[in-house]
Amino acid sequence: MTEFDPEKFEEKYVHYFTELEEAYSNAYQQLHGQYDSEVLRAIDRQVLSESEPFYEGNGEFRVELPENPRDRVGAVADHEQFEPVLETFVDRIEGELQRIFGFDETA
> Exposed, middle or buried: residue 81 (CB in 10 Å: 0-12, 13-18, 19+)?
middle
Predicted local confidence at residue 107, as pLDDT? 45
Structural domain that includes position 87:
6-100
> Is 54 within the bounds of a domain?
yes
- Asked whether the beta carbons of 19 and 99 are under 8 A apart, the reply is no
pTM score of the predicted model:
0.92
> Is 15 within the bounds of a domain?
yes
**What are 83-103's pLDDT values in tens digits?**
999 999 999 999 999 999 999
Which residue(s) pair with 57 in the sheet? Answer: 60
- What value, to the nearest 5°, has the Cα angle with vertex 100 and ends 57 and 83? 75
Domain count for the chain, please give it: 1
> Is 34 within the bounds of a domain?
yes
> Is 38 within the bounds of a domain?
yes
Of the candidates 93, 43, 32, 31, the residue with the CA atom closest to the CA atom of residue 71: 43
Q: CB within 8 A of 14, min separation 6: which ones?
A: 8
pLDDT band at 104 (very low <50, low <70, confident <90, very high): confident
Mean of the per-residue pLDDT values for the chain?
93
**What are 16-59's pLDDT values in tens digits?**
999 999 999 999 999 999 999 999 999 999 999 999 999 999 99
